[in-house]
Structure formats: structure tokens, C-alpha cells
Structure 1
Amino acid sequence: MATEFPFLHSGDVHLWLVRTRTAPNTAFAGRCEALLSPTERERAERFVAPKSRHQFISARACLRDLLSRYHQAVEPTDWCFGASEHGKPFVEQPAQLTDLGFNVSHTDDLTTIVVARSGALGVDVEADDRPANFLEIAERYFSPAEWSFLEAEPPAARASAFYGLWTLKEAYLKARGEGLTVPLKSFSISWSADHAEVGSVVLDMADSTLPDPRWQFWQFLVGSHIVAAAASGARNAAPRSIHAWNMEPLGGISPASITLLRRSLV
């Protein structure tokens, strides 16, 4: 039985998990390219790596298809996107739907899309099994408090902790849409596990004079080694609820079976 497409209430954030194909498929690629604007096609041609080009085409086509499922009177090809001063995309046309917010992130063959009505939105997704010099990266980009937290973690748990911090910070910055004008060191993300098995996320702007709306965070484990984080911010807004679905590229949907790792308590 097909899953009914969800209605987007004002207090909802919808998280979509799309398994976009990394290996080109001629028929599927043609369907995707047909949905893109001329500007998007030109942008796709600038990708040197075929995998990156195909990933961009698939993700943008799926975004257009998804938004048209929320508003069936709008064809996927009719959405027009603008970009902020720092490059964050937004709905420019249809004019009556400019309050529809979205954000996109991808890793390997997984594209994540968050959708909500009004407010700031950001999402980031990373595979947490990729090796790196986590302490060196954290010393360069994280706040002192975050570095200390990471340094205190057992080496076996450090990758998970690093990607937990990284995805939450990236989701927050993407939601702000202000690019590198907000230094990664200017704020701290932390969490505790005082509430059952779900950690509570805290945003500390003590080192910054930047004004902030009310922010909410959610972080999920997708499968065994992919971490996804979403951030939502709106001044004077009531707490929002997040709902997650799987979506086949340009195809059917189903409820997502993912594990909530952390969230902010509001």
C-alpha cells in the first residue's frame, strides 16, 4: 500500500532521505535533466567528476519533484530559485510560495532535504566512518570547549563525536545562510545524555555578539554509519516537530526508520 504524501503544517519540519544514484543511468539521468533549468544544466556541466555532476543533477531534480508534491499545481520545471548574498538557495517563484523553506545536503549516494514553512533551515549529512586527524581539524575549526570535549573522548569514540559536532555546526551555519561571516569558533555545540537515551543539544553563543532566534536541533543515525543533523530557527516561534521519510528518486515514499541521537529541548 502506497504511503500518503504528508501535509506540511506550520509547526513541522520534514526530513527527506533520498538514495540518489551515484552511477549514471542514461534513462534516469535524462528524466532528471529534463526537470532542471538552463542555469542548473550549465552549473552541472562545470563539475569535472562525473559522479559529482550526476549527484548534483539527481539532487536538484529530486528537490524540484519534492516541492511539487507539496504544491501539485506547480510543475517541477516551474520552480525558480534565487540565492542569498552568501549563496543560500531559496524559492523565488512562484511568488506566493516564497515562505516555503528548504535545504539540501548529500554524502555518497544519500541526499537529505529538509522542508518547512518560514524560518531558517539547515541540514548536513556525513558518513562517520571516514578517518581523519580529528583533533587537528577540531583545533583549527572548533571552539576551545568543543576541542576539549573531543580530546577527552576515547580514541575509539572520537570519530562519532567529531561528526556529531560537525554536522550540528554545519546544519546551524547553513540555516543562518551567512557563509563564512560566522566563524566556526564563534559558537559551541554540546550535548548531554541526561534524558533517557537521547542527548540534549545546547547552542552556546557566549563568544559571539550575533543575535539569534530560537533554535532547534535534531540529529539522527541513518543506517550504521551516516549521521544527519537538521537545524531550525525562527524568532518567537513555537517548538517544531520533525518527521522523516524515505523517497525513491522521482518515485514513491515511505516512513524512514532512523535513530534519533540528539535533539534540543525546548
Structure 2
Amino acid sequence: MTRLVVPELEPRDPARAEPLLPGEVQLWYADLDSVPGDEGILSAAESARAERVVDADAKARFVRSRTLVRRLLGAWLGLPAGEIALESTGEGKPRVVAPPHAIDFNLSHTGSAWALAASISFHVGVDLERIRPRRPDHDVARRIFTSAECAWLADLPEARRTPAFFTIWTIREAVTKLRGEGIFTLSASFEVVPQTDGRLEARVEPPEELVVDTIPAPVGHVGALAVSASPRAIRAFRVRPDAEA
């Protein structure tokens, strides 16, 4: 399967994001504890959802996440960020209802780590996971992973097992988010296969154009990006802490 090459991250203000170009994917990263939020550009539904969040840190991160989404979409669509109509899917992810557009985007965040992938040419799915300092849940693995994936994990030295578990998880999660499925429903025809050089490769039977690979992630995290076909290029950005609120 084709590898995804993610270049060095460029610091950028999302309100001044470059246009989405045909054949490309943009990948954005942020630390939600280091960027501003603007509840004034959120919709009434988003503000109400934020008010229901009891934990102060989680509430602030939700507001900052939606602010980033709206700033990026506003730059790409040429509209004020507060005028974009968003709704949440059944999985709680935002999508644009209006205006008409060709943007497919997907986001992920865990704690303060945040990533968003977008394209006008492909469907995309992105996932970030924090590597939790505990042994992998083998019951969960048996329910989600293939027998070959479980056997490979079991054979790894214990120190490598937990990072490998979360790496497989993120690869599978990125694919299910691209397809709009749940991680428990991903067919056994999809499998993550270890290579002799130590990297992991995803295989799909029957073969399709889908491309999925690990991506850079903050320290203590792993990440994966899935694209419905091989992109001409990936452009990667890091939200500047002094970005416009």
C-alpha cells in the first residue's frame, strides 16, 4: 500500500489557511491548551453543548476545537466563521450543512492534542490516541482486531505491546471514520500487517484505492490518516499559539 508522506509542520493561523487544492490533503495540528477560543462565533447549539460540559478544561477545549474548525472552514469557503452552518453526526463530529461545498474533513482530539484533515478531492479520516500507561485490553483487542493482529501483539515484548496496540487502533479508527462506520464494525477483510522493517501496513481484501498510514503525533501519542485514494501531496500545518481567536 502507498505510504503517506507528511512534511514538516508549518506554523500557520487557521483564519489565513491556504486554499484546498485538487489532489491534495491538508493536515492541521493544534494544542488545545495553547490556542484561543471564541464562543461568540459558535452556533446556539454549539454554545448549549459547551454549557452542558461540567469539566472546565473539557469545556474550554470543546470551544477551542469548534473555533479552529470554523476558522479553517471560513478561510476555505471565504465566509465569516460564525456564518457556517454545522451539524453533528451521530458520532458527534461536525459537518457543514451550508453553504454547498466540496470539502470533506474529519477531526480528532484526545486531551489537548488535536488534528484535522481536509480535502476537496478525497474522503478522509484522522485519529489521534494517547498511549495510556497500562497493559492493552486483550478482550477489546479480540473483539476488534483480527486473529493475526492479536497474535502479533501477543508475541511482542511487553514494553512495545501498548504502543503497538494503540497504533493498530488508530489505523483502524481512521479508516472507520473515513467510511462513517464504527470501529467494531470494520470487516475482517481489513488487516494491519507488520513489515520486516518494523512499520505497520494496512491491507484490504479485495484491494481498493484506500491509503492509510501512521502520521506524526505529539509525544506520548500515536496518529493515523486514511485517504480514499493516494493524494498528490499532503500539506501539514501547526496552529500558531498567537492565532486569531
Q: What TM-score, normalized by structure 2, do the two folds share?
A: 0.81
Partner of 1:58: 64
Which of 133, 136, 144 in structure 2 is aligned with 1:133?
A: 136
Query: What SS class does the counterpart of residue 9 from structure 1 fall into?
Result: coil
Cα distance in structure 2, aligned partners of 1:149 and 1:10: 38
1:202 equivalent to 2:178? Answer: no
Where relative contact order (Cα < 8 A, 6+ residues apart) is larger, the structure is: 2
Return the offset for 1:217. 1.3
1:243 equivalent to 2:235? Answer: yes
CA contact (8 A) 2:136 2:165 kept: no
CA contact (8 A) 1:141 1:184 kept: no
CA contact (8 A) 2:212 2:226 kept: yes
CA contact (8 A) 2:103 2:120 kept: yes
Return the offset for 1:222. 2.5
Q: What are the equivalent positions in structure 2 for 1:85-100 lying under 5 Å apart?
A: 88-95=93-100, 97=101, 99-100=102-103
Query: What SS class does the counterpart of residue 210 from structure 2 fall into?
Result: strand
Partner of 2:30: 18
| Percent of aligned pairs with the same amino acid | 29
Cα distance in structure 2, aligned partners of 1:85 and 1:55: 20
CA contact (8 A) 2:192 2:200 kept: no
Q: What are the equivalent positions in structure 2 for 1:18-37 lying under 5 Å apart?
A: 18-21=30-33, 28-29=36-37, 32-37=38-43
Alpha-carbon spacing, 1:109–1:247, altered in 2? closer, same or farther (3 Å): same
1:122 equivalent to 2:125? Answer: yes
The letter for the 1-side match of 2:236 is A
**Superposition RMSD in Å:** 2.8
Alpha-carbon spacing, 1:134–1:84, altered in 2? closer, same or farther (3 Å): closer
Partner of 2:161: 158
The one-character-per-residue Cα deviations of 1:73-95 (angstroms, maximum 9, x if unpaired) are 30101111245566553222111
The letter for the 2-side match of 1:201 is E
Return the offset for 1:50. 2.1
CA contact (8 A) 1:122 1:232 kept: yes
Which of 210, 218, 224 in structure 1 is aligned with 2:213?
A: 218
